[in-house]
Structure 1
Amino acid sequence: MTPPKTPSENEVGPIVSAAHLADGGMPSLSEMEFALVIASNAFQRWITRCTAAAGGEGLSSMEVQILHAVNHRERDKTQADLCMMFNIEDTHVVAYALKKLQTLGLVAPGRRGKEKTARITREGADLCLRYRDLREKLLVDQIKSLGLDEARISEIAALMRVMSGQYDQASRAATSY
C-alpha cells in the first residue's frame, strides 16, 4: 500500500477560470481575477436581495450602490461625482439608475449651478437604514464570527484599489495598442 500523498504532491495549482491565462508570468493574478469575479457576483446578488428584504424590491445592484452613494454624508451628488466614485465610464448607467430612483421617490433632483444633482429623500434614507440593519444582522455578525482581522481586511481593500488603478492603466494602453 502506498502512503497518501502530501498536500504539495496533490497541489492542483491556483484556482482559476481560464488555465490558459494562468499559464503566463503571474498565475496568482489569474487566481485573484477569478476570485474578484466570484466575489463581485456574490456581492451583487447580496445587495439586491438585502435591499429587497428591506423593502426595495426590484432594484438592480447598480441602483442600490447609487442609492447608498447619494445617501453618503447627506450631500447632493452629481452624475459626474457618481461616475467618478464608482469608476463608471458609461454615464448612461448612472443616469438610468438616478432616473429610476427618482421615479421611486428614493432620490430627488436638484441643481448645483448648471449641474443636475441628486439628493436622498426621507424614503431613500429610511431604505438605506433598513438595509444597514439587515446587513448587520445577516452579514456582519456572520463575518465577525469568523474571527477575521479587520486590519487585514482593510489591507486587502487597499490592495484592490491599487489593482484597479493598474487595470485602468492597462485599459488605456490597450485602447491605443
Structure 2
Amino acid sequence: MRKKLADKDVVVTERSPIVSSAHLVSPKSAEMSEFEFGLIVAGNAFHRWIAHCMSAAGLKDLTPLDVLVLHHVTHRARDKRLADICFIMNVEDTHLINYSLKKLQNLKVVEASKNGKEVTYASTEVGRSFVQRYREIRESCLINAMNADDALNRDIGELARLLRVLSGMYDQAARAAASL
C-alpha cells in the first residue's frame, strides 16, 4: 500500500510506524522515526518517574536534571568536578549542571570543596540518605514490578548498549550539522 507523507510516496506495510513527526518519516528508515518517538515518550516517562521517586524519598520540587546530578555526585563516593559531571552526563551547557549543583547545595544534599583552584562536589550524609531511600522506592515500585528474569535483563543490557551506540551517532550527526 502506498501513502502520501510529506509530499512523498512511502510504502507502508500492514503496520504503519508509530511516529510523532510523520513529515520526517523516510522510506529509508521509518524505524528510526519510530525509535525517536519511542525515545521521546520513554525519556519523558523516565524523567517523570525519577522526579516522583525522589519526591517520594523526601526531596520535593527537584527537576529530573537535579535528581540525575545528585545521583551522579553520589556515584562511587568520589568527589566530582563540574567538567566531569557534564562530560559523563553528556551535557554541554555547564550552567545547567552548575545551577543544579547550587540548588542541591542549598538543600544541604551536596557540598563543594576547594583544592587549590579546583572545586569538587560530593553528596553529604543527608544526600546519601535521600539517595538510599530513592533506591528502596525504586526497588519496590519499579524493579519488583518488572519481575525481570535473566532473559529480560540480558535484553535490557543489550538495549542499553544500543542506546550508547546511537548516542554516539547522534553526537556525530550533531557535529556534522553544526558545521553546515
TM > 0.5 = yes
Secondary structure of 2:176's partner? helix
**In the alignment, which residue of structure 1 is the partner of 2:109?**
106
Deviation at 1:12, TM superposition (A): 3.5
Equivalents in 2 of 1:89, 1:79: separation in Å? Answer: 11
Equivalents in 2 of 1:163, 1:90: separation in Å? Answer: 21
**In the alignment, which residue of structure 2 is the partner of 1:125?**
128
Deviation at 1:34, TM superposition (A): 0.5
Q: Deviations over 1:21-76 (max 9, x none)?
A: 11342111111100000000000000000100110001110000000000001000
Q: Give unmatched runs, 5+ long, in structure 1.
A: 1-8
**In the alignment, which residue of structure 1 is the partner of 2:8?**
none
Secondary structure of 1:118's partner? strand
> How many percent of aligned residue pairs carry the same amino acid?
46
Match of 2:69 among 66, 71, 80: 66
Structure 2 letter corresponding to 1:117: T
The alpha-carbon distance between structure 1 residues 139 and 148, as it changes in their structure 2 partners (threshold 3 A), is farther
Secondary structure of 1:149's partner? helix
Match of 1:159 among 157, 162, 170: 162
Structure 2 letter corresponding to 1:76: D
Equivalents in 2 of 1:124, 1:72: separation in Å? Answer: 12
CA RMSD, aligned part only? 1.7
Structure 1 letter corresponding to 2:128: A
**In the alignment, which residue of structure 1 is the partner of 2:173?**
170
Equivalents in 2 of 1:117, 1:169: separation in Å? Answer: 30
**In the alignment, which residue of structure 1 is the partner of 2:4?**
none
Equivalents in 1 of 2:25, 2:146: separation in Å? Answer: 30
1:86 matched to 2:128: no
**In the alignment, which residue of structure 2 is the partner of 1:75?**
78
The alpha-carbon distance between structure 1 residues 130 and 26, as it changes in their structure 2 partners (threshold 3 A), is same
Match of 2:18 among 15, 19, 23: 15
Structure 1 letter corresponding to 2:31: S
Normalized against structure 2, the TM-score is what? 0.89
1:150 matched to 2:153: yes
The alpha-carbon distance between structure 1 residues 162 and 10, as it changes in their structure 2 partners (threshold 3 A), is closer
Large movers: runs of 4+ above 3 Å? 145-148
Deviation at 1:148, TM superposition (A): 5.8
Deviation at 1:145, TM superposition (A): 5.6
Select between 98-107 and 10-19 the one with higher mean Cα deviation: 10-19
Normalized against structure 1, the TM-score is what? 0.91
Equivalents in 1 of 2:114, 2:101: separation in Å? Answer: 14
Structure 2 letter corresponding to 1:153: I
Deviation at 1:152, TM superposition (A): 1.0
The alpha-carbon distance between structure 1 residues 148 and 58, as it changes in their structure 2 partners (threshold 3 A), is farther
1:137 matched to 2:140: yes
Equivalents in 2 of 1:101, 1:153: separation in Å? Answer: 31
Equivalents in 2 of 1:31, 1:147: separation in Å? Answer: 27
Deviation at 1:114, TM superposition (A): 1.8
